[in-house]
Every structure is written in C-alpha cells, then in structure tokens.
Structure 1
Amino acid sequence: MLQVKYAARLGTFSGTMLVVGGIIGSGIFLSPAVVAQRVGTAPLTLAAWGLGAVVAILGGFVYAELGARRPKAGGTYIYLRDAFGTFPAFLYGWALFLIMATGAMAAVAMTGANYLAELLHLSPAAGRPIAIGFIVVLTVLNILGVRIGATTGNVLTLLKLAAIALLVFAALALTPRNAVPLAEQASPLVAPSSLTQMVVAMGGALVPVLFSFGGWQQTNAVAEELVDPQRTLPRALIYGVLIVAATYLLVNVAYLRALGLEGLAASRAPAADTMFVYLGATGRTFITLGIVTSTVGFLGMVILMSARVYQAMAADGLFFTRMARLHPRWQTPVDALVAQGVVALLLLLSGTYGQLLDYVVFADWIFFGSTAAALFVLRARDREGTVRARLHPVGILVFMAAAVYVLVGSVQSNPGNAARGAGLLVLGAPVYLYWHRQRSRSGDRTT
C-alpha cells in the first residue's frame, strides 16, 4: 500500500503569511493598554515593544536554523525529540493538544465572535454559536487541503494588514475630528524612579508583549508542505517576524499619537478609540471588522499548523494511531484536525478556556527556551548545516534569557496559575508512560 505523504504546495509568500497570520491575532488590539499601565511612560511603552521585537527576531533566527536542519512536519516536537528524547517532546504536544492550541482556538474564536455579534447588533448570547461556526468551518477548510486552508489564511492576513495600515495612516496623516473617548483610569500611572523599578516594570510589560509576538514558531510545523523548505522556511520566518515587528511598533506609535499615554492606558479598545478620533463611528466600525478578520485569520492558522504536531506524535506511536494518517486525496491529517476541533469545542462550551490558558501561558516559554537549547545539541551532533542562526551563540543565549525572564515574571505575578500550569504538564507524565508502553509492545515506530 502506497504511503500518503504531505503535499509540498506552499511557497515563500504563503509561508510568510503563515508567520504573520500566526502572530497577529487579538493581542495587538488589547495588550498595548496593559503595557502602558505597567511601564508608566510613552518611551518605555515603545521600548517594551521594541524589546519584544528583538526577542521575536532572535527567535526567528533560532527557528529558521532548526527548520532548515529538520524540515519535517511537527516543528518544535521534532526538535525536542531529536535533541532531548521523546518525553519532553510529548509534553509539548500534550500541552498543545490539551490547552495551548485548543484553548487559544476557543478563546480567539469567542473574541472574534463577540466582536462580530456587536458589529451586527446581535445579542451577546449569539457569540458562542458564532464561535462554534468559526471553528467548524475553518477546520473543514483545512481538512480539504493545505492550499485551501493556507489561501483562506492568506486572504484574511492581507485584510487584517490592510485594516492596520489604515489605522496607522489615520493616526499619522489625518487631523483629529473627535475628542479622545473618556475612560476612567483605575489607578494613576507611575513612572519608574530607579533602575530596579524600571527592570521590574519592563519585566511585567514584556509578558503581554511577548504573548502578542508569540506564534512565529508554528510555521515550522508545516515544513513538509513548503516547496524547498530548507530555503523557504528560513526566509518566511525572517520576513514574517520583521513585518510583524514593524507593524506592532507603528500601531503603538499610532495609539500614543491619537490617545496619549493616559488615554491608551485607560482604553479598553485602543484600536477602536484611535479610529474614532480620526474617522468617527465609521472608523470604529471598520476597525472592529478588522479585528474580527484578524482573530478569524489567526484561528485558521492555529488550526492548520497545530494539527501537524499531533500527527507527528502519532506517527511516533505516542498518540492515537488514527491521528498519524493522512487522507489519500487531500493529504491532510484529518483525524488530528477533527480531534483538535472537538477538544476546542469542548473547552468553548465549558467556558473554562480562559482560566486554563492562564495556567499554561508560561508553558509556551518553557518550550521556547528548551527549543533554543535544542539547537546547541543539534549543532554539536550535526556539524553540517546550510542555514546558521545569526548572532550565534549570543543571540540564542539572549533568547533563552528572555524565556527565563518571562517565566520568572509569570510566576511572580501569579504563582497559583503557574503552579496549576505545571500540574497540568505533570499530568502528561503518566499519559506518556502509557503510550510509551503501547509503542514498546507494538514495536518501535519512531521515525
């Protein structure tokens, strides 16, 4: 029987759009207010986003070399497996399947659905059915082929970039027509008065900043579906991260110009408030539609890329056997996509996705730091490599230090959530032992 393989159909443009679409979700429309609150000055607000951009670019360099060294479906799972063994790799896939990807799907789907319900003047109760529709429709599109899923994502990504471009243009080129919407500031802004206070404030601000920058690593999971992945993937990663970095900095300049520091810190919807200042109610409506497009595009990218990780785990005999299969016609991991969608819908219907996401936000950076460390191992083991991470080893060490910085900040800000997140990861250990025994009984199927 002929083995079904992934179809290499995506070029550099689609790869770049996967990176951009996998990063830009709802974070840039919500997080800037939190950052302004935590640092207390406009220069430090922009500095926090600049630091986030530097970390993201360094991460892009790391994942570009890893993708060139291991151009296999599964991305981070493959790198951790080949460097440190199947156990840490399984924990990554376990966290992704249980919460990190599926919880993000539920949360982002609800965010987009709530904005759409508000835009269409529907009752708040309409949000959940709309969110369910988003997950189901996008899962089906990704089942029907990677090109269909990627093309849908490309269109939505271009639309979200167009909406952001209009926001930036309005703030930098137009004259304000309306007063800044008044909002009650919960507490007065306090600028750091010492170096120690500034370091602490920046640490707290970098958590939402780096959360908003997260997602570039997911494109590595579809490496086998890129044309000439050893060349295409590194280019897509660097181009995509640079586009996002420039976009985020320009958006924050636009927010500060339109709302001022106090207005930004107090705003619950800085993008909508910015557009209102320059274009009135029409601008607010337009950017709300842009936010819907952005969240739906991000959702589609998460659905497409995360399923490849579960398929790689199953191919190693460490997950349900059916999830290793690719459809003979569509060449997509249908069972992995369906299972992922079911878990996301269960989290959505239970209403627990937001709380669960808080538990394991820090887990993302555990795996980011571990994956960067994996590059040292793979470099020592495989001397050859056509792509080399720039600024090695300093850049990789800085990226790993940033991961530790975020972890410490997450634990300090909410130790209870960090402990619960660690507990959810620990629960993966007995599950791993079960699958490891099953694999041993049926023979080692590790590729």
Structure 2
Amino acid sequence: GWTLFLIIQTGTIAAVAVAFAKFLAVFWPGAPEKPVAIAVLVLLAWVNSRGVREGAAVQNVFTLAKTAALLGLILLGIFGGRNAEAVSRNFGSLWENAEWSWAVIRLVGVAMVGSLFSSDAWNNVTFTAGETKNPSRNVPLSLALGVGIVSAIYVAANYVYLSVLPLEAIQGAPQDRVGTAVASAILGSRAEALMAAAIMISTFGCVNGMTLAGARVYYAMARDG
C-alpha cells in the first residue's frame, strides 16, 4: 500500500500527466509541461473527490472516446492504408534468419518495457473489489474482459502498423510516434493533430482511472488504521 502511494501509482499518474502535457504542445506550442500536468492532476483529484459516480462518468466517456479512436485507426489502416510492399517485407520472411540466443531474448525483453508499462494498470480494477457488487464474479470477469479486449486492440494496432509502414519507417518514426507515422501515411498532414488529440484523450482517461482506482487502496488503508 505504501509503495503504491509513494511510488507506483503516484509515479505512473505523474508520468502519464506529463505525456498529456507534451501532446498538448501540438495545439499550444510552448505549453508549460509541469504546470499543465499539475493542473490535470488537481482537476481530476477534485472530480474524484466529488464521488465515485463523477469519477466513473469521466472514465466512461474517455474510455469510449479512446477506444473509438484506436478502432478508427485500425479500420483506416486495414481498409485505407494497406501497403503491399510493407506487407511483403514485414510478413513475407517473418522468421528468416531468426534465432533464439540469449542476446535476442534480452533484446525482446528490452522491447517489452514500453508495452508492459502501458499495461501496468491492468489490475487496478481489483482495488475496487470491496465496493463491487458480487466481487467473486465481477472482478475476475472484468479482468478477463479488460485484458482480452485491450490485448486484441493492441495486436490489431500493431498489425496495422506493420501493414502500412515498412520496418525501417517504424524504427525511424519521429520521436518514436509510430501511430502518428501510420496516420500520416494514410491521412497526410492532418494526422499529427488527430493523433495528438487521441493521445490526450487516452492519457487524460488513464490519469482519471488510476486516480479513481488508487484512492480505493488508500481508503482501505485508512479504514484499517
């Protein structure tokens, strides 16, 4: 509980709030990152202090919005951006010269850091177990559905990335923004603003969700004395 309070939950919330501020700079050049991030944290802390319903309402809206944005990108990639050359190069010789040495395994581990960090809050739903109706059924069901849906979207998005861009373009995406590079290949100059908006929606919802869930742990700690 204390490590969650002092480091894990608070650190992740702060990092995601800074990401929100970074992408705000697309619309507001020179936006002060730290003050914006702090303002987001204060705003969402206030919303969640009003009650669980208010926090849940914000979460529902932003979860639907970011899911719709991701599905839109996936559908655009499948039906409007498929690049035959990229598909051939990325999937045609997928396992050619592949080997599973310890060096390769270490590289795979390093490559997983970002994706694992993005999934770090997968278990936050368990924090609400004490306030959930029929938790023995609903909490495991929520975990299974949440992880399953997110994994499916994640795999589909990466399939689209590999179907639209050759590997070199993915590796050299400006500031590692592969999603923006894919959207740019499909939509042109409008893509940066659209992707920035989508990521701001995603990060705002993430901060709210972690604030909402994390508070349940601190409440339980306080109740236990």
TM-score range, shorter chain: 0.7 to 0.9
Q: Distance in 2 between matches of 1:196 and 1:134?
A: 43
Task: Tell me by how many angstroms 1:192 deviates.
Answer: 5.5
Shift of 1:292: 0.2
Indicate whether 1:242 and 2:159 are aligned: no
Matched, 1:147 2:71: no
Map of 2:165 onto structure 1: 259
Kept in 1: contact 2:59–2:205 (CA 8 A)? yes
Aligned to 2:129: 223
Specify which structure has the bigger relative contact order, considering alpha-carbon pairs within 8 angstroms and separated by 6 or more residues. Answer: 2
1:152-177 deviation line (CA, Å, top 9, x unaligned): 01110110011111111111110479
Shift of 1:277: 0.4
Report the equivalent of 1:96. Answer: 4
**CA separation in 1, counterparts of 2:146 and 2:220?**
25
> 2:15 maps to which residue?
107
Distance 1:283 1:162 in 2: 16
In the other structure, the counterpart of 1:205 is 111
> 1 CA distance for matches of 2:100 and 2:46?
54
The share of aligned pairs that are identical, in percent, is 36
Determine the structure 2 residue equivalent to 1:116.
Answer: 24
Structure 1 210/176 Cα, relative in aligned 2: closer, same or farther at 3 Å?
A: closer
Q: 1:196 & 1:138 partners in 2: Cα distance?
A: 44
Q: Deviations over 1:399-423 (max 9, x none)?
A: xxxxxxxxxxxxxxxxxxxxxxxxx
Give the partner amino acid of 1:108: V
- Letter of the aligned partner of 1:217 in structure 2? N
Q: Check conservation: 1:176, 1:277, Cα contact below 8 A.
A: no
Shift of 1:218: 0.9
The residue correspondences of 1:36-115 to structure 2 (distance < 5 A) are 93-115=1-23
CA contact (8 A) 1:192 1:198 kept: no
Q: After superposition, what is the alpha-carbon deviation per residue over 1:195-241, rounded to whole angstroms, capped at 9, x for unaligned?
A: 43332332322333322222121111111332222222111111111
Partner of 1:357: none
Partner of 1:281: 189
1:293 paired with 2:201, answer yes
Q: Secondary structure at the match of 1:215?
A: helix
TM-score after normalising by structure 1:
0.45
Contact residue 77 and residue 163 of structure 2 kept, 8 A: yes
2:111 & 2:81 partners in 1: Cα distance? 31
Higher Cα Rg, which structure:
1
RMSD: 2.0
SS at the partner of 2:25? helix
Inter-partner Cα distance in structure 1 for 2:112 and 2:179: 20
Task: Provide the rounded CA distance (Å) in 1 between the counterparts of 2:188 and 2:131.
Answer: 44
Change (3 A) 1:199 1:176: closer
Taking structure 1 as reference, are residues 102 and 116 closer, same or farther at Cα in structure 2, changes over 3 Å only? same
Segments of structure 1 that go 5 or more residues without pairing to the other structure are: 1-92, 181-190, 318-447
1:104 CA displacement: 1.2
Please, which of 35, 39, 46 is the counterpart of residue 133 of structure 1? 39
Matched ranges for 1:358-373 at <5 A: none
1:165 aligns with 71
Match of 1:185 in 2: none
Q: Is 1:172–1:254's contact at 8 Å kept on the other side of the alignment?
A: yes
* Number of corresponding residues: 211
Q: Is the contact made by 1:192 and 1:201 (CA closer than 8 Å) also made in structure 2?
A: no
1:261 and 1:228 map into 2 onto residues whose CA distance is 47
Task: Give the Cα separation in 2 of the matches to 1:213 and 1:194.
Answer: 25
The question of whether the paired residues in 1 share the 8 Å contact of 2:21 and 2:31 is answered with no
Q: 1:155 to 1:98 in 2, by over 3 A?
A: same
Are 1:269 and 2:177 an aligned pair?
Answer: yes
Matched with 2:217 is 309
TM-superposed deviation, 1:124: 3.8
Rounded to whole Å, the distance in 2 between the matches of 1:123 and 1:209 is 29
Q: Is the 8 A contact 2:82 2:163 kept in 1?
A: no
Deviation at 1:142, TM superposition (A): 0.7
Shift of residue 101, structure 1, vs aligned partner: 1.0
Measure, in 1, the Cα distance between the counterparts of 2:81 and 2:210.
38
| Aligned counterparts of 2:177 and 2:100: Cα–Cα separation in 1 | 31
Answer 1 or 2: which has greater helix percent: 2
